[in-house]
Amino acid sequence: EVQLVESGGDLVKPGGSLRLSCAASGFSVNDAWMNWVRQIPGVGLEWVGLIKSKGNGGTIDYGAPVKGRFIISRDDSKNMLYLQMNSLKTEDTAVYYCTTELSGALDMWGQGTMVTVSS
């Protein structure tokens, strides 16, 4: 069964760091375009960033609100996707989802993991 399971969400103080993990099963993250998307309470969905498949060069891109603070990576041997979040701000509070991407659409989503940034 194809599945994504996020973990690592927590309560963290402004300025702190946190690493989210996404465990993939049923396919190889190495062969997929993977995205992180967040859902801000009361606001909506916001695209965080993507990492292309190894075959497409593994290019990584980020949304403007997180560029320079967040880092997307993957471990092919563990079939895992990661989101390293640094210099966290209160406005980063959200549910974070990892997703696969196919033809410009996010076709598979995990259940999400909650990140709360508060003093």
Residues that bind another protein (CB under 8 A): 35, 37, 44-47, 50, 59, 61, 63-64, 97, 102-112
Smallest separation (angstroms) from another protein to the CB of 15 = 26
Smallest separation (angstroms) from another protein to the CB of 109 = 4
CB closer to another protein, 82 vs 96: 96
CB closer to another protein, 44 vs 68: 44
CB closer to another protein, 16 vs 62: 62
As a whole number of angstroms, the distance between CA 71 and CA 50 comes to: 10
CB 94 within 8 A of CB 9: no
Smallest separation (angstroms) from another protein to the CB of 116 = 17
Strands (E), the chain: 3-7, 11-12, 18-25, 33-40, 44-51, 60-62, 70-75, 80-85, 94-102, 105-109, 113-117
